[in-house]
Amino acid sequence: MNDAAVRLSYLADTVRLLYPGPGSPRAYTVLPHAAVPRRLAPRRWWHVGSPVMVPGEGSIAAYLGEVFGRPVETVLHVRPARRANRKPVLEVRAGGRLLAYVKVGDSARARVLVAAEAAALRRIAGLGLRTVVAPEVLHLGDWRGLTVLAVSPLPVRRRRRTPRPLLLAAVAEIAATGQEEGAAWHGDFAPWNVCPAPGGRLLVWDWERYATGVPYGFDALHHFFHRALRRLPPPDAARACVTRAARELAPLGVPAATARQSAARYLIALADRHAADGHEPLGPPHTWLNPAVDHEESLL
């Protein structure tokens, strides 16, 4: 079964999960798009293709209407197939205005990640960050045994590349949130999870992998590694992460030997994450991790 078929099958399962009520059906449309996952959106007059009939009462939309105190429309995003952290994500709108993004923990693993993100955002909110702008938790609750997290939308105007000084300032600020627990990291500080904002600030979302007690600079290494993966196969990107670590972390005041050690530990932590998720998006570790870190073993 190819990716499109898996994704459409998951969409059908998710619709049955989130819209189970017997109430008056509403017409939706499955919208394909080259740049984003497939979406299930309220039907408009210009949509082509057959409508999808979705129950209204007893649905996640009805629940979110109660949460926000007004009738809402939902747009369901279906993430790419076979992702370990895949979960339903909804846009919640009312009166043409985007109110929130909602993540739904529809599996044991997804519920853990959704709860972790809520905890991370609440922690971050109380620290008065000056560079990093994170979403605000608007609601965390349980609906039909599913964990539901609603967060505020961030004011993304258009995506553009993040200037390196801003990126490093954000990495340092996030690291400092670990406080007495040691350095912290966002955990998925990839190019698609950040965006420059007016006033010299950086919008940062998807905090479900936030953790403390890690080597300083993990976020910078993660950002570099995932940029490298866009043009290099995983083994080459992993080797580049180690060899370029000193250059990447030097502006943060990390000595060269420590930087290489941190890069090796970062790659091992990433492989451990994939193992815990039961998913190997980069392939088996012996194909990409071992060639990059085996010669660094004396540093670990």
Phi-psi region of 200 (alpha: psi -120 to 50; beta: other; left: phi over 0): left
Q: What average pLDDT does the segment 99-103 reach?
A: 96
pLDDT value at position 159?
74
Measured in residues, the chain has a length of 300
> What percentage of residues in the chain have a pLDDT greater than 90?
63
pLDDT attached to residue 36: 46
- Determine the Cα–Cα distance for residues 271 and 285; give it in Å rounded to an integer: 7
Per-residue pLDDT at 129 exceeds 70: yes
Contacts 24+ apart (CB under 8 A), 242-248: 242/267, 242/292, 242/293, 242/296, 245/221, 248/217, 248/220, 248/221, 248/224
Closest listed residue to residue 102, CA positions, set 50, 51, 143:
143
Kindly state the percentage of the chain with pLDDT values over 70.
Answer: 82
What pLDDT is attached to residue 47? Answer: 45
The pLDDT of residue 195: 95
Q: What is the pLDDT at residue 224?
A: 98
Read off the pLDDT of residues 249-269 as tens digits, 9 standing for 90 and up.
999 999 999 999 999 999 999
* Average pLDDT along the chain: 87
Residue 204's pLDDT is 98
Q: Give pLDDT, residue 278.
A: 86
Q: Give yes or no for a contact between 11 and 30, defined as CB atoms under 8 angstroms apart.
A: yes
Report the pLDDT averaged over residues 277-288: 93
Whether pLDDT at 120 is above 50: yes
Instruction: Give the residue-averaged pLDDT of 53-81.
Output: 80
Model confidence pLDDT, tens digit, residues 149-164: 999 999 987 777 899 9
